[in-house]
Structure 1
Amino acid sequence: MKKIINDPAQYTDDMLKGIYRAHSDQVGYVNNDLRCYCTKKKVPGKVSIITGGGTGHLPLFLGYVGENLLDGCAVGSVFQSPSAEQIFEISKEVNNGGGILYLYGNYTGDIMNFDMAAEMCDLEDIKTASIVGADDVNSNADPVARRGVAGIFFMYKCAGAKAAQMGTLDEVLAAAQKAKDNTRTVGFALTPCVIPEVGHSNFTLGENEMAMGMGIHGEPGVWNGPIKTADELAAESLDTLLKDMPLASGDEVALLINGLGATSIEELYILSNSVSQQLEDKGISIYRTFVGEFATSMEMMGASISIMKVDRETKAMLDMPVSTPFYCQK
Structure 2
Amino acid sequence: MKKIINDPANVVAESLRGLAAAHADILRVQEDPDVVVRADAPVAGKVAVISGGGSGHEPLHGGFVGRGMLAAAVPGAVFTSPTPDAVQAAVTATTGEAGALLIVKNYTGDVLNFETAAELAAAEGLEVRSVVIDDDVAVKDSTYTAGRRGVGGTVLLEKITGAAAERGDSLDAVTALAQKVIGQVRSIGVALTAPTVPHAGTPSFDLGEGEIEFGIGIHGEPGRERIPLEPADALVARMVDAVREDLPFSSGDRVLLFTNSMGGTPLVELYLAHGIAERLLAERGIVVERRLVGPYITSLEMQGMSLTLLKLDDELTELWDAPVNTAALRWGL
CA contact (8 A) 1:134 1:144 kept: no
| Secondary structure in 1 matching 2:260 | strand
- Name the counterpart of 1:274: 276
Distance apart, 1:34 and its partner CA: 5.8
Residues of 1 paired with 2:305 and 2:227: CA distance?
16
The CA RMSD measured in Å over matched residues stands at 1.5
Does the 8 Å contact 1:13/1:34 carry over to 2?
A: no
2:45 maps to: 45
After the TM superposition, which parts of structure 1 deviate over 2 Å for at least 4 consecutive aligned residues? 141-144
Counterpart of 2:94, as a letter, is: V
Residue 165 of structure 1, CA deviation = 1.1
Question: Residues 196-235 of structure 1: matches in 2 within 5 Å?
Answer: 196-235=198-237
Q: 2:245 aligns to what SS in structure 1? A: helix
- What is the CA distance between 1:201 and its match in structure 2? 0.4
Task: Name the residue aligned to 1:33.
Answer: 32
Q: Which residue of 1 aligns with 2:153?
A: 151
Conserved 8 A contact 2:55-2:80: yes
Tell me how far apart the structure 2 counterparts of residues 323 and 116 of structure 1 sit (CA, whole Å): 30
Distance 1:163 1:18 in 2: 28
Correspondences of 1:1-330 after superposition (within 5 Å): 1-30=1-30, 32-33=31-32, 35-42=34-41, 43-140=43-140, 145-330=147-332
Matched position secondary structure for 2:34: strand
Q: Distance in 1 between matches of 2:199 and 2:327?
A: 26
How many residue pairs align between the two structures?
A: 329
Preserved CA contact (<8 Å) 1:155 1:177: no
Structure 1, 223-232 or 177-186: larger mean CA deviation: 223-232
Q: Alpha carbons of 1:237 and 1:311: their partners in 2 closer, same or farther (altered >3 Å)?
A: same
Deviation at 1:141, TM superposition (A): 7.3
Distance 1:48 1:329, change over 3 A: same
Q: Is the 8 A contact 1:16 1:34 kept in 2?
A: no
Distance change (3 Å), C-alpha of 1:182 and 1:19: same
Q: Which amino acid aligns with 2:13?
A: D
How far the C-alpha of 1:161 sits from its partner, in A, is 1.2
| Deviation digits for residues 1-56 of structure 1 (CA, Å, limit 9, x no counterpart) | 000111111111111111112222221133x4261111112321100011010110
Which residue identity lines up with residue 140 of structure 1 in the other structure?
K
Whether contact under 8 Å (1:17, 1:34) holds in the other structure is: no
Once the two structures are superposed, residues 248-280 of structure 1 have per-residue CA deviations (whole angstroms, 9 ceiling, x without a partner) of: 221111100000001001111100011000000
**Offset of 1:291 from its aligned partner?**
0.4
Q: Report the more deviating stretch, 272-281 or 244-253.
A: 244-253
Distance (Å, rounded) in 1 between the aligned partners of 2:284 and 2:235: 16
2:98 & 2:122 partners in 1: Cα distance?
Answer: 14
Shift of 1:287: 0.5
Unaligned runs of 5+ in 1: none
Alignment partners' CA distance in 1, 2:26 and 2:251: 43
Partner AA of 1:172 in structure 2: V
Counterparts of 1:308 and 1:141 in 2: how far apart (Å)?
22
1 CA distance for matches of 2:23 and 2:68? 17
Shift of 1:162: 0.9
- Between the aligned partners of 2:16 and 2:100, the Cα distance in structure 1 is 24
Q: Tell me by how many angstroms 1:244 deviates.
A: 1.0
Whole-angstrom distance in 1 between the partners of 2:139 and 2:78: 21
Separation in structure 2 between the aligned mates of residue 156 and residue 10 of structure 1, nearest angstrom: 27
Native 8 Å contact 1:47 1:99 kept in 2: yes
TM-superposed deviation, 1:326: 2.1
What is the CA–CA distance in structure 1 between the aligned matches of 2:301 and 2:285, rounded to whole Å?
A: 36
Once the two structures are TM-superposed, the CA of residue 294 in structure 1 deviates from its matched residue by 1.2
Q: C-alpha distance in 2, partners of 1:250/1:144?
A: 33
Question: C-alpha separation between the residues in 2 aligned to 1:204 and 1:144?
Answer: 24
Gaps of 5+ in 2: none
Of all paired residues, the percent bearing the same amino acid is 39
Q: Which moved more, 1:320-329 or 1:177-186?
A: 320-329
Give the counterpart letter for 1:117 in structure 2.
A
